[in-house]
Amino acid sequence: MKGPRPRRRLLTIGHSYSVGVNRRLAHELALTGDWDVTAAAPARFHGDFGWHVLESQPGERCTLAPLPAYFTRPVHLMLYGRPLFELLRQPWDLVHCWEEPYVAAAAEVAFATPARVPLVFATFQNIAKRYPPPFNWIERRTLDRADGCVAFGRTVYDVLTGRGFPRTRTRIIPPGVDTARFAPNPDARAAVRASLGWQDDVPVVGFLGRFVPEKGVRTLVESLDHVAVPWRALLVGAGPLEGDLRAWARRYGGRVAINTEVRHEDVPRWLNAMDVLAAPSVSTPTWREQFGRMLIEAFACGVPVVASDSGEIPHVVGDYGMIVAEQDTAAWTQALQRVLGDTALRRDLSERGRRRAVSAYDWPVVARQHADFFGQLVDGALA
């Protein structure tokens, strides 16, 4: 009688793993029982909010492999160097690289991973861009070497397979969300609203993200100017449009709050203070919404979502929120007025969004999809 199959050895590489919360996929993959997981990342990495030092988290099930990293700004020039090559010479069953296929670090991984070891890349790129040399060469070489690719959405899949990558070796798997941390929390809702001096039941329209033109904050505030039903607004984020937003907020006094200092671990509390999350992203010739992590975080917190039709958003939101045309101020005004004025509609969207987060985006669900895909590649079950 055969015993259980030995756990396979997985190496997953990514600069974002320098931040503990970004290693949740590696942690959950280890919990599936199929893989012994090692997560390789820069020992020190300079991100958007300063330096990050690679440190193990309490209860973390993956093993950490700190690597030196060079030229980390901008990240598409970053290199790991010889220690990565030495790490890749160990007997791995599969290597997973969470670096975009056109960046320098991806070229290192593609070059140094032994030909006998299946190699999987993950990508968010949902525009068929023409990169200048050497990045176009890197992307071509990387995808030629890859045995599989994870597309973080339908629009990403369409771009990837449109460039010729085999559909049979591509999987659409979304990023995940911690549905225990991101969950409905009436106490947090009351505490945040009280801290803002909001003691009434006037519904709050929220925004979570960068204060930049492509995130559509101008569309949001122009639409709110025309909403006739009572509302408050809570804008959480930071960016170059902060001054414009504060000037707009002064017109409304205490009805509008702007917070530019919310840490990621505090995001669930602030989401809970919202009655609606607005995500009015605007596509440009070089960018469209690649996924929208704030959407699934709002779903998990039971916050109704009203979002634009930019990029991947319609596929993420589906029938579990409201989709509005990009930059259509009149349509946005109408949609916000409808959801703000209808308590039953908000309750329905809240319940459906929460169920969607748990069934489709919870980290164990996402990790299982990765584990199954990786297992098929190792077993040679894909053409």
pLDDT one-digit tens code per residue, 179-202: 999 999 999 999 999 999 999 999
Of the pLDDT bands very low, low, confident and very high (cuts 50, 70, 90), residue 1 is very low
pLDDT one-digit tens code per residue, 342-375: 999 999 999 999 999 999 999 999 999 999 999 9
- Contacts of residue 194, Cβ cutoff 8 Å, sequence gap at least 6: none
**Range 186-360 classified under CATH 3.10.20.30:** no
Terminal alpha carbon distance of the chain: 31
- Contacts of residue 238, Cβ cutoff 8 Å, sequence gap at least 6: 210, 211, 260
| Superfamily in which the 8-176+362-378 domain is placed by CATH | Glycogen Phosphorylase B; (3.40.50.2000)
pLDDT at 4: 62
Q: Is the peptide bond before 134 cis (omega within 30 degrees of 0)?
A: yes
pLDDT of 281 higher than 70: yes
Token code pair at residue 151: 């597309």
pLDDT at 53: 83
Q: How many helices (H) and strands (E) does the chain have?
A: 14, 15
pLDDT one-digit tens code per residue, 151-183: 999 999 999 999 999 999 999 999 999 999 999
For residues 317-342, give the mean pLDDT. 97
Question: Between these two residues, 2 and 325, which has the higher pLDDT value?
Answer: 325
Q: How far is CA 210 from the centre of its chain?
A: 14
CA distance 223 to 229: 12
Q: Is the dihedral of CA 199, 205, 208, 214 positive or negative?
A: negative
Whole-model pTM: value is 0.95
pLDDT at 377: 97
pLDDT one-digit tens code per residue, 289-325: 999 999 999 999 999 999 999 999 999 999 999 999 9
SS3 372: helix
- Round the average pLDDT of the chain to a whole number and report it: 95
CA distance 307 to 305: 6
pLDDT at 383: 72
Lowest mean pLDDT, pick from 70-74, 91-95, 135-139, 285-289: 70-74
For residues 116-120, give the mean pLDDT. 98
SS3 209: strand
Q: How far is CA 106 from the centre of its chain?
A: 20
pLDDT one-digit tens code per residue, 75-104: 899 999 999 999 999 999 999 999 999 999
Written as one letter, the residue type at 216 is G
For residues 273-298, give the mean pLDDT. 97
Ranges in the chain annotated CATH 3.40.50.2000: 8-176+362-378, 186-360
CA distance 368 to 346: 31
pLDDT at 2: 54
Q: How far is CA 201 from the centre of its chain?
A: 31
For residues 333-342, give the mean pLDDT. 98
pLDDT one-digit tens code per residue, 216-262: 999 999 999 999 999 999 999 999 999 999 999 999 999 999 999 99
